[in-house]
Structures are given as structure tokens and as C-alpha cells.
Structure 1
Amino acid sequence: MNSRRNKAILFKREAAAWNPLSRALLMTLTAACLAAVCASPALAEPDEEALGKSLGYPNGPRWTAMENRVGAWSALDRVPGVLTEAVARGNSVLPLPRASVPALIKYRYRNLGYTLDEYLERRRITGLLILKNGEIVAERYRYGRSEDARFLSFSMAKSVTSMLIGAALQRGLIASLDDPAGQYAKDLQGSAYGQTPIRHLLRMSSGRTFTERYDGQDDVSKLSRSFATGTPTVASVLRSFSDRHSLSGQKFVYASSETEVLGRVLTGATGRSMAELTSDWLWKPMGAERDAFWCNGRDRQAGAYFCFNASLRDWGRLGVLMANDGKLGEQQILPADYLREATDAALQPAAFAPYKATPYFGYGYQFWLHPLKERSFAFQGVHGQSVFVQPATGIVMVQTAVYAQASGHQDPEPYAERAAFWMGVLQSLGGRTERY
């Protein structure tokens, strides 16, 4: 648009050397050109009609339906039947000033170069926030979303749960990560998960068989149905998983059930809800801008594995806190040693390192570890949710999305391009991208 406008202005200036009739004609044509430029419609956002634009981006009643995803996944507390518990913010807000000099974000994908805006035009992104040393480099909202939206985490909640485990450990409410989960989660005592050390649950290495294919017939679907209906109870479903695929602590196998156990460890160890803990241990000391919320199951226990909801900027503040190893100003909000062990690929046992835990990522304490020489890690959730962090360079990227498929196993393209975009963000902002 800018290049067309500039050409029209240039033509207008050149007309000064022409006769009055030619000048008048050209000025008329120039005015028409500028009017056409200004009146041209905005580009359509990817799949906007399938995602419910003409319906006003509704949020229910089926909040997983394609046409409801944009609306519901940014306002799940307004969906009928969903139980939520507020996470109250404090009186002070951590400023996120805008960078004084705009940064040009570029990246390459499949041997072609693209810009940040082109990335947004190619993928179903509802919110994008990029920070450098606590300053906003870029902030975008799409599909009618705005700064007051509180975006659903899906499995980014797992990383929040890990942060709370670290805070409980710091306070002595959890004595040791080598304690069995059932020592704190009384409703799981005597079960396979109850006998599993907390550390092994943090690494998703209980060795217990749990299927997670996102096909509606797997174990995570069974767990989610019990969460939503209360029949059978979540605790009884968790107790039912007893088959073993490997020895405890030896192998990473992704299992949302293990995070749900950790949530019960937290509430059992503290006698408080996940929402209360998140408010007092994270949201208030971190300087959150808006209240957040957890979704609760019928037993009033928060969905530790998938259902935390927060604004884009507050997701960014969580990333900044992690980039600072849990410290804000002079206050150590979270234990630095725990966070290093949770997020540093170099500190993981060999089986949990990048290229070993998975073909690409390593896995720490509920954090995904990038295969970069410079410590870099991520909160990640299905359908494209992510917070990427590189502490040494102060770079944080938050993305909320409504990808069509839950995982890269089902549709690798959006996830591969997101990885390429993150590398481009690092390169554009002076980050470090050397791989293992």
C-alpha cells in the first residue's frame, strides 16, 4: 500500500512541469488512485469464515467446534457449563514498555524469506507478543481479539504447574522431589502414580502406559471426559493407569495424566486451590496486569494439565520471569536452582536431552528444551500455543493460535513454520541460534 501511495505522490510532483490541462487530469487520476488505495479491503485472515467470523466468533456451546475456537479459547469463562476459579492480580503491574526502535523481524521457511506480518497472514494466529529485555518489540491481535482476551493455555498449563511445584519446594511444603506423589496426593495413595517420585512425574517418566493421540478414543480423552463430567472421578481414572512400558525415571513419554497428578500433589501439600497458589505465588508478585483463571473439574480440582487462562501480556510476563530465572527486581519469586534444573538441556539426564527425549526437543520439568547451545526452552500447548524463552538474550515470544490439528504429528507444517519463525526472531533480535 505504501509503495502505491508513494508512486502517486511522485506522479503528482512530476506534473508540475506539465501544462495546466495535463496537471489537472493527472491530479484527478492521483486522487482516484489514493481513494482506491484507502478503500481497499483488509486482507482476510486465514480460514476466518470457517473459524466463525460471520457469526461474530461465538464461544459455544461446543467450545472445541471449529467455528467456536477463536471465541471460546479466548474467553472460556463465558462458555456455559465450564467451571472456573479466578486468579487475582495484585495492586502493582510490571510495566512492559514498548521498544523505542521498531525491530524488523524476518525469517526463512522452505528457502523463502518472510516478514512477521507475512507469518500472521499464513497461519491461524490469534495473538503474538515478542519481548526483548522486558520491552515489547511486537504485539498483534487477530480474528477480532484484543488485549483483554484471556487465552486458553492447553498444555502450557503444565509449565505453570511446574513453576508452582518449585515454589512449594522453596517453601518447604514439598520436602523433596524424590518423595512419592501419594505422600501429598492422598486420593492416589497406593496407586501406581501415587508410588511415583515427583521428579519422575515432572519429567513425564513414570513408565506407566498412557495414550495421547487426540483422536477422542485415547486415555487423555478419557481423562478430559472425567474432568468435565465427574463420572467417573478424575482420581479413579488416574488410579486406573497401572500398566508399565518402562522403568520409572528412565524414559520420557508424554502423558498429561502425570501433570494432573502434580496438581493434586500441590493442593494436597498446601491445602489450597491451584488458583489461590497461582495468585499468591505468581500473579501478585509477578505484577500481572489482569486477573487470570483456572478451569476446575467437577471435583473442584483445577485442570493442571491443560486449563490455565491469561492475557497475552501476562503470558509474556511469565516468560520474562522465567528469562530472569524467577527473579523480579530484588525479589526471588521462584527458586533459581529449580528453574535451571527444569529448563537447562545441559543438566538433564541423557535420555531427556534434545534429540533424545524426542527427535527435536528435550524435556525438563514440564518444559520443552530447544536443541540450541544457548539455553532456550518453551511452554507449549496443542493447536499452536507457545511461550518461547532465551534467558541470556532476554528474548521471549508468546503465540496463541487455533491451528486445525492438535499436534505436529497430525499436521507438521504450522509447527515447522513456527519453529522457523522463532529462529528468525532470535536472529533478528540478536539471539543465539547455534545448534547442538
Structure 2
Amino acid sequence: MLKKIFKVFLLVIASIILLIYVSGYSYLFRAARLTYMKGENSSTIDDGKYFPSKIISKGRPKRWPTDDFYNKIKLTNSLKKHLEETETTAFLVVKNGKIFQEHYWYGYGKYKPSNSFSLAKTITVLLLGKAIDDGRFLNADQNFSDFYPEFSPNDFGKNLTLRNLASMESGLDWKEDYKNPFLPNAAAYYGFSLADVVFNKKLITMPGEKFEYQSGATQLLGFAIGRAVGMPLSLYASSMLWKPLGMENDADWSTDDMGIEKTFCCIQSNARDFAKIGYLLLNKGKIDSVPLISENFINEMTTPTEKSDGVYGMGLWINNDYRIPHYYMRGLNGQYVVVIPQYDMIIIRLGKKEGDEKDSKNRPKETEFYIDEVLKMMTKN
């Protein structure tokens, strides 16, 4: 009797496994292995090492200069408490082109990499700007179907532009959810083929009519850039960003099993090098007064769109409603590169959790908090 029950049990398990594979959810096995079987319930800033990747090579490193008051002023009690509660791993402040504050926890240091998550979206849009400057695209309003004609089965697809993808107005059938393992974010993150995930999604509304933050849109943009430049995006990012910016370390860009970079996320780098992306934005696309990316394109990135109700530009979140206007790169679990032009300042925060408080437009209030606390510290010098 027990032997018969055991056989039935094995048959049920085998049937479930077969059903998972047939249904296209085989990535769930990888997801379970990299989360639950490691004591986690979701992706983490340390799991980049479990995925295939390509190197974004640095060139000649250019180290950040430090401010005269470098780390001489203590973090405010409120800031320290928040950073502890959110399990922050890196907190960096660059003021007037020099590092003013730099702190690391949980075994992290200046050069230990961690997962960017959606900070990579901003980098992908910067590569779009560079590709436009290089003549690989006509402009941001060029049609996506010029590069992927098969993605225009109806008028929606024929009207999809690169700008629509960069500004999150694609009309794609994509529910942005990081917790549901059956939705496309998990399939893109843990799956084996990004093309199978994003090209199987349809456009369900006319592009340009509605703002909806979607990782699938940035992944489609990455496919278009890759086809236009004719090389892996990690190589293009190396020659067009990492080397000219003088990054201090190579970075790893996670890929699917086909070797395609996950342009919606997953660059493994550090606070110092992410700060240089912020510095490029702060300086309107220039580095050492030399134009690297068109100032007009940077202005488009940092200008909020009407459809987003003023919260998003192209690859950047924007808060011009606060008394100190700022814009920022934002990744899952509170990865931030916050740019504050009024004070010639950049704040980088990396870590394991993010705060819960949101403003009236559902933006994280952490960016405002970080700005306020750092300004309090600056008044002490």
C-alpha cells in the first residue's frame, strides 16, 4: 500500500514538473534555487554572481578627489538610524566634484560590486543618447520597427518609437511586479531568453498615450540599441561610458543564457563608479568640460513628461515638486543615484532594503530625506 502511494506521489510530482516546463515557467526552478534555497524570498544585491555576464571594461582609472572635510562630519542621528534600518551597504556624497562623505557596511567597501537593479535603465538610455550622437539612430523618435520589423503586427507596433520606450510610454502588455513569480519581471530576471519574454508581449494601447513604468520597455530599447550599434551593449558601454568616465573598476552586466544584456537591470558595480554616471548627468553630458553625450539629450532625460504627471523623464525619476528639485536613478530595494543641481551634489545610496514612505505621487520620500540630512551636515563645516 505504501509503495503504491509513493508511486502516485512521484507521478504527481513528475506531472507538476512537466506542466511547469510545458507552460513556459521552467525559470521557476532557477528562481527557487537562487532565492528560497539560499534563505532569500526575492532577488538580492549579491546575486549577480549566479548569472552569466559580460564585462564592461574600464580604461585608465580616474580616482575621485576628496573634500577637505571628507568624513570629518558625523552622519546625523536620523540619517544613521535610517541607513541602519534599511541595511544600507554604501552611502556616498559628492559635492562640487569631490567626495564629501563615504561610508560602507556589511563587509562592503569602495570597490565591492553589487546589483544595480534598475539603475541600469538610466545607463541604457544614456547609451541611446550616445548612439544618436554617433549616427546609429536618426533621433529618439525613430520607430522601433525600423530595427525589428516583426514587432509591428498592428498600428500600435508601427507607431512605437525609441522615445516611447525610454519614457515608459510604450503601451506594452507588461505588469511590473517583482514579487509574483509568474509575471514577466521574474521571467526576464531568472529566465533563459530575454527575447522569448519581451517579444512575446503585445502592445495593447497606442504608444505615447499613457505612462506606465515597465522593465520590458527598457529591454526592448536595449535590443534596438544593440542592433543599431552592431556589438554587445557591454562593449559599447565600455567604450562610450566606462572608459571616458575613468571608472575605477570593471563592471559585470548580467545576461540571459543567450548572452544578451539585461538592459532593464543588473549591472554589478560600486558606489564610486555609479557616482560618475550621476556626475555625467549633473554636468549635462560633459566630462572634464568635454562633451560626451549631447546636452540636448540630457535635458530631455531630465525633463518630466506630461503623461507621467511630472515624475519621469527618459530613464530618470524626477521630483521638481520638492523645495529642492532633484532627479534620480532608482533601483529595486533602494539603490539611488540622486542628482541635486542646485547644490552641485550627488548622493548615492546602495543597500538591501528601502523605506516605505511615499509622497502624493507615489515617489519614495527617501530622496528628499537624504538631501535634507546631508544639507544639515554641510552646515556644520
Which range, TM-score by smaller chain?
A: 0.7 to 0.9
In the alignment, the residues of structure 1 paired with residue 251 and residue 149 of structure 2 have an alpha-carbon distance, to the nearest angstrom, of 28
Q: Secondary structure at the match of 1:86?
A: strand
In the alignment, the residues of structure 2 paired with residue 127 and residue 194 of structure 1 have an alpha-carbon distance, to the nearest angstrom, of 44
Offset of residue 204 of structure 1 = 0.7
Offset of residue 148 of structure 1 = 2.1
In the alignment, the residues of structure 2 paired with residue 260 and residue 194 of structure 1 have an alpha-carbon distance, to the nearest angstrom, of 18
Question: In terms of Rg, which structure is larger?
Answer: 1
Which residue of structure 1 aligns with residue 109 of structure 2?
146
Q: Is 2:371 the partner of 1:422?
A: yes
Query: Could you give the per-residue CA deviations for residues 24-53 of structure 1, whole angstroms, max 9, x where no partner exists?
Result: xxxxxxxxxxxxxxxxxxxxxxxxxxxxxx
Q: 1:194 to 1:147 in 2, by over 3 A?
A: farther
Which residue of structure 1 aligns with residue 331 of structure 2?
381
219, 222, 232: which is aligned to 2:184? 219
In the alignment, the residues of structure 1 paired with residue 137 and residue 52 of structure 2 have an alpha-carbon distance, to the nearest angstrom, of 28
In the alignment, the residues of structure 1 paired with residue 276 and residue 252 of structure 2 have an alpha-carbon distance, to the nearest angstrom, of 16
C-alpha RMSD of matched pairs (Å): 3.0
In the alignment, the residues of structure 1 paired with residue 81 and residue 231 of structure 2 have an alpha-carbon distance, to the nearest angstrom, of 45
TM (norm. structure 2) is: 0.80
Q: Which fold has the larger relative contact order, with Cα–Cα distance below 8 Å and residues 6 or more apart in sequence? A: 2
Q: 1:193 to 1:308 in 2, by over 3 A?
A: farther
Q: Is 2:53 the partner of 1:84?
A: yes
Offset of residue 189 of structure 1 = 5.5
In the alignment, the residues of structure 1 paired with residue 274 and residue 267 of structure 2 have an alpha-carbon distance, to the nearest angstrom, of 10
Contact 2:145 2:152 in 1 (8 A): yes
The one-letter code matched in structure 2 to 1:219 is P
Q: 1:284 to 1:417 in 2, by over 3 A?
A: closer
Q: Secondary structure at the match of 1:286?
A: coil
In the alignment, the residues of structure 2 paired with residue 390 and residue 135 of structure 1 have an alpha-carbon distance, to the nearest angstrom, of 14
Q: 1:208 to 1:408 in 2, by over 3 A?
A: farther
Aligned length: 341
Offset of residue 252 of structure 1 = 0.8
Structure 2: give runs of 5+ residues left out of the alignment: 1-30
184, 192, 198: which is aligned to 2:147? 184
The one-letter code matched in structure 1 to 2:369 is A
Q: Secondary structure at the match of 1:351?
A: coil
Offset of residue 372 of structure 1 = 3.4
Q: 1:279 to 1:408 in 2, by over 3 A?
A: farther
Query: Could you give the per-residue CA deviations for residues 185-236 of structure 1, whole angstroms, max 9, x where no partner exists?
Result: 46646476575111111111112221112222223223334xx323xxx223
Q: Secondary structure at the match of 1:305?
A: coil
Contact 1:86 1:275 in 2 (8 A): yes
TM (norm. structure 1) is: 0.71
In the alignment, the residues of structure 2 paired with residue 71 and residue 363 of structure 1 have an alpha-carbon distance, to the nearest angstrom, of 25
In the alignment, the residues of structure 2 paired with residue 205 and residue 146 of structure 1 have an alpha-carbon distance, to the nearest angstrom, of 38
Contact 1:149 1:311 in 2 (8 A): yes
The one-letter code matched in structure 2 to 1:334 is I
Query: Could you give the per-residue CA deviations for residues 286-334 of structure 1, whole angstroms, max 9, x where no partner exists?
Result: 0101111111112211000011111111011111111111111131111
In the alignment, the residues of structure 1 paired with residue 33 and residue 241 of structure 2 have an alpha-carbon distance, to the nearest angstrom, of 31
Offset of residue 118 of structure 1 = 2.7
Structure 1: give runs of 5+ residues left out of the alignment: 1-59, 107-113, 355-361, 431-436
In the alignment, the residues of structure 2 paired with residue 382 and residue 144 of structure 1 have an alpha-carbon distance, to the nearest angstrom, of 20
Which residue of structure 2 aligns with residue 110 of structure 1?
none
In the alignment, the residues of structure 1 paired with residue 351 and residue 285 of structure 2 have an alpha-carbon distance, to the nearest angstrom, of 26
Q: Secondary structure at the match of 1:383?
A: coil
312, 331, 335: which is aligned to 1:363? 312
Q: % of aligned pairs identical?
A: 23
